[in-house]
Amino acid sequence: MPGLGVAPRGRYIPKPMQAVFDHLEAGQARAVADLCEYLRFASVSAQPAHAPDVQACADWLVAHCRAIGLQAERHSTPGHPIVLARTPRRAGRPHFLIYGHYDVQPPEPLELWRTPPFQPTVRDGRIYARGATDNKGQHFAHLKAVQAYLATGTELPCDLTFLIEGEEEVGSKALAGFLRQHRRELKCQQVVISDTGMPSLRHPALTYSLRGIAALEVIVRGPAADLHSGIYGGSVDNPAMVLCQMLARLRDGRGRITVPGFYKDVAPLSRAERRELARLPYSAPAYRKLLGVPALNGERGFTANEQRSARPTLEINGLTSGYQGEGSKTIVPAWARAKITCRLVPDQSPEDITRRLTSHLRRLCPPTVRLEILSGHGAEPYLTPPTGPAAQAALEALEAAFGARPVQLREGGSIPIVTQFKKLLGVDSLLLGLALPDDNLHSPNEKFELACLHGGARMSAHLWPRLSAAF
């Protein structure tokens, strides 16, 4: 493993870092074993039955951080605990925050997993488990890098604080309050997050934009109870039919969302940016195959990559009504409900989109049913131009670790807290994702490549001297 190839600018000149990289290489098997231990906790934040697993996972993380030489503690919140772990402080050094989340998505449907989601299994150079890539494996790579510095007595050029939360997958409800409360201690020069993706191991990525989100649930109620569809059907409206008709009207034949004003605040993509995004590796047949669809579909006039990262969307995430069991049951269901989220791009706001969508649904709803709309979590979109010395430092670290020219891209997913880091701490986030396109985030058989774990740890080790020199 080479040491730092390029002398960083600024006041800090790093000592040769060979010991750090040697330590990382020698510790790879142990790192995988430790990550497997971390992945055994079913830290599913959305399901109250898993609250004890979430707590136990936070405790394990605190213990692990302490074992590798960090000062760590667990902070209770109204929701799931937040773990803070820091390197020993030295006056006058830059301070960086490494954000991650130890909560995971629900693993269902369980029958589609080749091996159980919370029994991590290494196959073909990959770890399969719920949370492997989203996000335990990704922040674990940073922990291993910092461990290597501490274990080899290599001086870190900066102070580091890990902030690992337990509610990212359910909207990071407690974290904004926590940031406000701990503002002084968390004051830093930059946030670093590995919770996004890269197109391939040959294309390590710096992400400069994330979409925001607006979630709501629509409930259509008809008769007081399920009715015999033969006796009464035809004389009352069918809530499932009404809901489907309403939802079907939310998108036109060109893939545009029909909610009035939906695109009003969308910042147009510049020609230069479209040209840049078009340089990312992409093959339509391969993409189609990866996703298992017979044909791709999206808003006309935009490439698939633009559609999934730089354009707003409205998706039905869940749709329920009537009888779902075996065989048939002849009823007019009493109710129907749908879970909907919109992904937002600069300069849309979740409040505005929720308001517009809510009033549009009310307009579409006939008087034959009752409509209830529950608004859910929201997050603003994020964009920071990938220029300046911090971005440069990140690109250098990516290149040094993965041995390939990094790309700069937008991601379609959301990390709700990044705009709060900007608002409350006044700092931007460097998004250095380690997930590959076939990692199955939020799906059965989620996996994390060992090459991403080890490459991510090297990237983190390379980053701190370079990033410190940028401040």
List residues near ligand BES by CB under 6 A.
134-135, 168-169, 171, 195-197, 210, 213, 377, 379, 411, 413-416, 435, 441
Judged by CB, which is closer to ligand BES: 205, or 242?
A: 205
Q: Find the shortest distance in angstroms from Cβ 439 to ligand BES.
A: 9
d(CA 134, CA 138): 7
- Nearer to ligand BES by C-beta: 196 or 348? 196
Q: 10 Å Cβ neighbour count for 253? A: 6
* Residue 238, preceding peptide bond in cis (omega within 30° of 0): no
Coil vs helix vs strand at 34: helix
The helix/strand/coil state of 3 is: coil
Smaller CB distance to ligand BES: residue 134 or 396?
134
C-alpha 344/C-alpha 309 separation (Å) is: 9
Q: Which residue is nearest to ligand BES (CB)?
A: 413
DSSP letter at 78? S
Q: How far, in Å, CA of 461 to CA of 157, rounded?
A: 11
One-letter identity of residue 190: Q
CA 434 to chain CA mean position, Å: 11
How far from the centroid of its chain's Cα atoms is residue 380's Cα? 14
Instruction: Please report the DSSP string for 206-272 in residue order.
Output: EEEEE-EEEEEEEEEE-SSS-EETTTTBTTB--HHHHHHHHHHTTB-TTS-B-STTTTTTPPPPPHH
- 391 touches, from ligand BES, Zn ion, none (C-beta below 5 to 8 Å by class): none
CB of 143 or CB of 210, closer to ligand BES: 210
Amino acid occupying residue 462: H
Residue 167 interface partner, choices ligand BES, Zn ion, none, CB cut-off 5-8 Å depending on type: none
| Distance from C-alpha of 226 to C-alpha of 179, rounded to nearest angstrom | 47
Residues 62-121 that bind Zn ion (CB under 5 A): none
What is the contact mask toward Zn ion in residues 124 to 143, using x (rule: CB under 5 A)? Answer: ----------x---------
CA distance linking residue 466 with residue 397, whole number of Å: 7
Q: Which does 429 bind (CB under 5 to 8 A by kind): ligand BES, Zn ion, none?
A: none
> Among residues 190 and 419, whose Cβ is nearest to ligand BES?
419
Q: Which is nearer to ligand BES, 12 or 208 (CB)?
A: 208
> Residue 147 Cβ, how far from ligand BES at the closest point, in Å?
23
The number of CA neighbours under 13 Å toward the Cβ of 234 is: 3
CB of 443 to ligand BES, least distance (A): 11
Q: How far is the CB of 429 from ligand BES (least distance, A)?
A: 12
Smallest gap, in angstroms, from Cβ of residue 169 to ligand BES? 5
Q: How far is the CB of 413 from ligand BES (least distance, A)?
A: 2
Least Å distance between CB 419 and ligand BES?
12
Strands 190-193 and 95-101: parallel
Angstrom distance (rounded) from CA 128 to CA 121: 5
Which residues, in sequence order, are bridge partners of residue 217? Answer: 339, 374
Residue 73 or 351: which CB sits closer to ligand BES? 351
Q: Between 94 and 171, name the residue whose CB sits nearer to ligand BES.
A: 171
- Based on the shown chain and the rule CB under 5 A, indicate whether residue 446 belongs to the binding site for Zn ion: no
CB of 213 to ligand BES, least distance (A): 5
How far from chain centre, in Å, is Cα 301?
27
159 counts as binding Zn ion under rule CB under 5 A: no
Cβ of 459: how many Cβ atoms within 10 Å? 26
- Using the minimum distance from each CB to ligand BES, give the nearer residue, 19 or 280: 280
The Cα–Cα gap between 26 and 8 comes to 26
For the bound state, the minimum distance from the C-beta of residue 341 to ligand BES, rounded and expressed in Å, comes to 7
Closer residue to ligand BES, CB minimum distance, 306 or 411: 411
User: How far apart are the C-alpha atoms of 77 and 84, rounded to whole Å?
Assistant: 13
Residue 381 CB, shortest distance to ligand BES, in Å, is 11
Query: In angstroms, what is the minimal distance from the CB of 273 to ligand BES?
Result: 18
Q: How many residues bind Zn ion (CB under 5 A)?
A: 1
- The residue among 159 and 306 lying less far from ligand BES, judged by its C-beta, is 306
Strand spans (E) along 16-120: 71-75, 82-86, 95-101
Quick one: CA dihedral 181, 64, 123, 53, positive or negative? negative
Q: Which residues contact Zn ion by CB under 5 A? A: 134
